[in-house]
Each structure stands twice: as C-alpha cells, then as structure tokens.
C-alpha cells in the first residue's frame, strides 16, 4: 500500500513538472515572438531606443494579460479542485463536532482533484463510522446501566417502605431486610464490575506477571463454591494436569475462573454436574469448565461477551451481564483465547487458553 502511494506521488510530481515546464515555455516563447514580431520592421538597420521601448512596453502588456488569464484559470481550478472539496470536508466535520456522526462525504471525481482529498475523505468517513459506533455503545451503556440499577433500587425502595409498617412481625422484618441487603449487594457488584471493566478497557490495569501453578489456582477458586455445590447436590468432576505453570497475572485470572464457576453453578440444576479440565502443551494451558445446565442457543452464544447482554431476558437469574465481558477482556489482555460451546437442555462448555510464557505479553508492552 505504501509502495503504491509512493509511486503515485512520484508520478504526480513528474506530471506537475512537465505541466509547469510546458506552461512556462509557452509564455516565454509567446513573449519573445511578440517582441521579435514588433521589431521586424526594423530588420537590416539598428534598432532605435524608441522602437525597443515600444516593443518592450507591448511585450510587458502581453505578459500582464497572460498573467491575468493564468490567474483566472488558476482561480477557477482552485475553486473546483481545492475549495469545493475543502468546503465539503469542513461542513462534514462541523456536523460531527455538533454530534451528527451519520454524516458521510461522497468521494470526489478524480478528474476534479487528486487522490489526496479522496484519501482524507475516506479517513474521515471511517472516523465518523467509528465515532457513530462509539456513540451507539455509549447510549446503550447508559440505557443498560439505568435499567440494571432501576431493578435493585426499586426492590430496596419497596421493601424499605414495607419495613416502615407498624407492628411488623419479626419474621417479615428479617425477610424484608434480607431482600434489601441482596438488592444492595447486587447493585454494589454491578458498580464494581463496571469500574473493573472500565479500567481494563482503558488499559489502566497492566498485567503483573508471575509464575504460578495454574492447577492450584483453579482448585482454590473451585473450593470457594463448595457450599453451593453441596446445597444443590451438584456432582464435581476434575481432570487437572499436574505442575502446569504459567506466567500470567494471578489476580486477573482469578476473575476469569470465579466468573466461569459462578455461571456454571448458577445455571446447573440440583443433581447436575460441573466438570473442570486442565490440559497443557508447550505453548498453551487449556482450561475447560463444563456444566449440565440449561444451555443456550447459538444466537445467545454469539452475544454473551457483550456488556449487559443477558440470555435470560426475564432476568429471573441473578446477574447484570458484565461477568463474561470482564472474562473476555482479561483473556484478551493475556493474549489468550476463549470459546464457548452450548446446546439448549444439554449444557455449556467454556474453553480458555492461556499462554504459558510471558514472551507474547512482553512484546506488546
């Protein structure tokens, strides 16, 4: 691409040189021929000073007229090849400044100008498209945050009102207080996840690389949910390779495993099964978390890493649609890979690949 642009620039420079050369040669030739033509009547004798003065004045007038003509031609050329494209660009950018990112600039005919303006127009159109996407994401983000905050706030408000009921039985008071606590915890978790995701996306968090045993970290994360699997009578199956060491950020990776385990136990019914597998080769450590939960369709699976997206549109299950986007962002920072396989009524498998060395991470710092 750069080589092609360089070739165009060189060819354009050579073309401009010949155009200006021919133009200068034409003007110079016309002036000399005019000067000679005026003095033709004096050939064969010496030119008088008066004849030379008259010829010079007429030639000078001719130069002035040619210059005026060239200035007019140049003005018309600039009007169509420079000022019009610039005005179209400035008008479009002014609209973008005012917040209209739907504006697009039509390419200019190659006969009306050179390719430079079209390259600028193409870049501006791309910028407008990106800004439009960002604005859409921002609007959706605000709408989703507002929606997700509205539910726990409404719960807290309603149960807070009920707590003010005179002579409220102790049993009901405890029940209402627990509902308020759960709603406030859900709101706090959402705010925490938003802050974490924002810091990750703005690259305010950088990997703190250490070498550790990934199998031990997975076991520690899984054991945090022991009370959950015992309460729901969920069978746990593990196949963890020994001595799988990785160079990564242990704290960030713990976010990945906690979110994946949380989802697995959340969506697995009583008496179900959750399987944890760790395999490794020279380059990657591969972790699989499989559950026998409700599963999801291919359409839902295509959106699960989007912020605030929840396959359960009824919001019957607890969540705010930020856990998996966090997981995806952490895995991307680690230059790993994450994939999902799922079938409705069968279950879901998340597969995470983590680099075993810090070579790839060091390159991008």
Structure tokens at 197: 């995701």
Note the pLDDT tens digit of each residue in 131-173: 776 666 566 566 656 666 777 788 888 888 888 888 888 888 8
Beta bridge partners of 213: 245
Note the pLDDT tens digit of each residue in 216-251: 999 988 888 888 888 899 999 999 988 889 888 888
- The 10 Å Cβ neighbour count of residue 351 is 15
Strands of the chain, DSSP E: 210-213, 235-240, 245-248, 273-280, 284-291, 337-343, 347-355
Whether the pLDDT of residue 333 is over 50: the answer is yes
| Greater model confidence, 176 or 10 | 176
DSSP state string for 276-338: EEEEE-SSEEEEEEEE-S----HHHHTTTTSTT--S-TT--SS--S-HHHHHHHHHHHTT-EE
- The 10 Å Cβ neighbour count of residue 181 is 12
Pairing of β 347-355 and β 284-291: antiparallel
What is the per-residue pLDDT for 39? Answer: 63
Q: pTM of the prediction?
A: 0.51
Confidence label for 315 from pLDDT (cuts 50, 70 and 90):
very low
What is the per-residue pLDDT for 69? Answer: 79
Q: What average pLDDT does range 110-136 have in this prediction?
A: 75
Spatial CA neighbour of 319 closest among 308, 329, 330: 308
Measured between alpha carbons, how far is residue 211 from residues 243, 253, 318, 356 in Å? Answer: 11, 12, 34, 9
Structure tokens at 325: 């986007």
Measured between alpha carbons, how far is residue 331 from residues 20, 95, 320 in Å? Answer: 59, 38, 20
Pairing of β 284-291 and β 273-280: antiparallel
Q: What average pLDDT does range 283-299 have in this prediction?
A: 87
């Amino acid at each position: 691409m750069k080589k092609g642009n360089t070739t165009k620039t060189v060819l354009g420079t050579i073309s401009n040189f010949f155009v200006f050369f021919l133009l200068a040669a034409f003007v110079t030739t016309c002036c000399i021929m005019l000067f000679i033509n005026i003095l033709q009547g004096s050939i064969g004798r010496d030119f008088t000073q008066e004849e030379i003065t008259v010829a010079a004045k007429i030639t000078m007038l001719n130069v002035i007229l040619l210059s005026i003509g060239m200035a007019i031609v140049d003005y018309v050329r600039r009007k169509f090849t420079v000022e019009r494209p610039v005005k179209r660009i400035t008008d479009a950018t002014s609209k973008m400044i005012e917040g209209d990112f739907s504006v697009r600039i039509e390419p200019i005919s190659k006969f009306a100008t050179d390719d430079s303006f079209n390259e600028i127009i193409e870049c501006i159109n791309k910028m407008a498209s990106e800004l439009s996407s960002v604005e859409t994401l921002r609007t959706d983000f605000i709408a989703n945050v507002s929606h997700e905050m509205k539910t726990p706030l409404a719960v807290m408000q309603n149960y807070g009102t009920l707590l003010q009921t005179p002579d409220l039985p102790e049993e009901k008071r405890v029940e209402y207080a627990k509902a308020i606590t759960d709603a406030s915890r859900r709101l706090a978790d959402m705010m925490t996840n938003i802050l974490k995701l924002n810091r990750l996306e703005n690259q305010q968090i950088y990997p703190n690389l250490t070498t550790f045993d990934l199998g031990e970290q997975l076991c520690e994360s899984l054991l945090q949910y022991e009370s959950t699997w015992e309460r729901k009578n969920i069978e746990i199956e593990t196949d963890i390779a020994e001595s799988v060491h990785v160079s990564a950020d242990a704290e960030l990776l713990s976010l990945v495993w906690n979110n994946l385990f949380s989802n697995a136990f959340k969506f697995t019914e009583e008496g179900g099964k959750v399987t944890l597998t760790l395999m490794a080769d020279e380059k990657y450590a591969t972790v699989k978390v499989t559950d026998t939960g409700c599963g999801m369709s291919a359409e839902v699976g295509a959106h699960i890493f989007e912020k605030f997206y929840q396959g359960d549109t009824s919001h019957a299950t607890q969540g705010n649609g930020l856990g998996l986007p966090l997981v995806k962002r952490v895995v991307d920072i680690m230059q790993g890979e994450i994939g999902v396989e799922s079938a409705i009524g069968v279950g879901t498998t998340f597969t995470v690949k983590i680099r075993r060395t810090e070579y790839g991470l060091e390159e991008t710092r």
